[in-house]
Structure 1
Amino acid sequence: MKLTKIIATSAIVLTALSTTSVALAADAGTYKSTGSVEFVPNTGITPPVDPTLPGTEVTPITPDGKTPEPGTAGPLSIDYASSVSFGQNKITNKDMTYFAEPQKLDDGTLKPNYVQVTDTRGTNSGWSLTVKQEGQFTNATTTNKELTGAAISFTNGVAVSEALTTAPTVKDVTLDPTGAASPIMNAEVGSGALTWLDVFGTIEDTEVDGVTVKKNKAITLSIPGTTPKDAVKYATELTWTLGDVPASNF
């Protein structure tokens, strides 16, 4: 008889414990909160990046060893465009094509020449980039002041970025020395957001007057043999212009 009572008492205790556990696990209501983040266009200046490692900021220098001017301020900006030198060459009466010297960084590293654009407007509305040659190669201090018939070409461009956005398109151009602008890079609606580079070709060992030097064969200067050339430096200026809508004629 005693054994029966003990078992019955244990059953009652277990039932009570089970009921208490269910009561503790019940919800006492729910409430929702939110998480948010907001972005605004970046109006600062974006520094140049390495054309072969676009996640790394670099300091390019001009062909004469100077620090270039800073890029334009955002949110849609031209951050950098290489100045191009075709080096020192012997006077000849033959038709010649000269290759560009590579882009040099302040640490002496050589990189492909490039132009860099950043779009942080946050509108995904696209943009277009043109380049314009401001007149023929000239030297006002010499007898033959202009390199008649000389032509600069940019070829083998590749759109490069670390951005996970749709790439803009690029095209080969031969510049018009009379001043007409040439479309060279274009971002349709929905593409070209964040930082993108148009990187021209690669650096190659090239023989110039019997000496092997580093050159970029994607950027060329063609000069007819019949063009008079004096023993001076001739120069021109390139103007890069960024529009806030895609080009209709690209």
Structure 2
Amino acid sequence: MKLTKIMTSTVLLATAVSFSTVANAADGGTYQSKGSVEFVPNNTVTPPTDPENPGKEVTPTNPDGTDPDPGTAGPLSIDYASSLSFGSNKITNKDAVYFAEPQKLKDGTVRANYVQVTDTRGNNGGWTLTVKQEGQLKNETTTNKELTGSVLSLTGGAAVSNTTNVVAPTVSDVILDSAGAASEVMSAKVGQGALTWLNVFGTLEDTQVEGETVKKNKAITLSIPGTTPKDAVKYTTNLTWTLSDVPSK
């Protein structure tokens, strides 16, 4: 009986080993499939966003309450640039510096003035944004047609975005040349400045004007000599913003 038990155990063990070998040989193996996604440059117009909450779409207005022109279309675009107003001021024979009024939004809120650029080319090629003043502030309908010697400056810029893991473009202070020379205001090297970036000029500050406290942007100034004759009219000029695909060095 003892011998029989040992032989039985041996037979069962051999049977188990044989079954395991058959099961392994029946495995289905492995196979790999793929997942992919492709991106192409975006040619649509990118709407303006909030300087204080980049990525949130807003609707800016011009200083006179009219709607601004739409931004440029294409994968490298100027989405928006603030028009600047320095308000209504009393005529004086003293040198004076005037501060820009805030950027107004349709919902009644105000922000610092800004310019917005988008790069969705997808090549990280870099770019350069310039601005130039198209002549001195003028009014052709009056006696003293030009504010001779006045100087418009944009300073205190900061590059802001809701983009992550992208190197920010560089911003520069600008003293505009009324003769029409272009000045670099924001630029990106190769590998920088992808997606949407705003150059926000300064911050808004409470300022006393004629005994009233109002919000002004002291980073954007208009300096006018006291010796410059001024008539009781509105003087205007145009600012031309140009975005090129030339990266900064």
Same fold per superposition (TM over 0.5): yes
Match of residue 206 from structure 1 = 207
CA distance in 1, matches of 2:153, 2:92: 21
CA distance in 1, matches of 2:223, 2:69: 28
Map 1:4-153 to 2 at 5 A: 20=19, 23-24=22-23, 27-153=27-153
Q: Conserved in 1, the CA contact under 8 Å of 2:204 and 2:217?
A: yes
Percent of aligned pairs with the same residue?
69
Question: Cα RMSD (Å) of the superposition?
Answer: 2.0
Gap runs ≥5 in structure 1: none
Q: Which amino acid is the alignment partner of residue 144 of structure 2?
A: N
TM-score in terms of structure 2 length: 0.92
Q: Which amino acid is the alignment partner of residue 76 of structure 2?
A: L
Map 1:180-191 to 2 at 5 A: 180-191=181-192
Secondary structure at 1:129 match in 2: strand
- Aligned CA distance change for structure 1 residues 85 and 23 (closer, same or farther; 3 Å): farther
Q: Does 2:169 match 1:176?
A: no
Deviations 1:112-150 (A, max 9, x none): 100000001111111000001001001111111110011
Match of residue 160 from structure 1 = 160
- Aligned CA distance change for structure 1 residues 13 and 106 (closer, same or farther; 3 Å): farther
CA distance in 2, matches of 1:18, 1:110: 81
Aligned length: 247
After TM superposition, give the deviation of residue 15 of structure 1 in Å: 7.0
After TM superposition, give the deviation of residue 32 of structure 1 in Å: 2.1
- Aligned CA distance change for structure 1 residues 170 and 14 (closer, same or farther; 3 Å): same
After TM superposition, give the deviation of residue 239 of structure 1 in Å: 0.3
Gap runs ≥5 in structure 2: none
CA distance in 2, matches of 1:205, 1:236: 26
CA distance in 2, matches of 1:7, 1:217: 100
After TM superposition, give the deviation of residue 9 of structure 1 in Å: 6.1
CA distance in 1, matches of 2:151, 2:28: 79
CA distance in 1, matches of 2:19, 2:64: 85
CA distance in 2, matches of 1:119, 1:244: 10
Deviates more, 1:5-14 or 1:28-37: 5-14
Match of residue 226 from structure 2 = 225
Q: Which amino acid is the alignment partner of residue 186 of structure 1?
A: S
Q: Which amino acid is the alignment partner of residue 117 of structure 2?
A: V
Deviates more, 1:13-22 or 1:124-133: 13-22
CA distance in 2, matches of 1:49, 1:11: 80
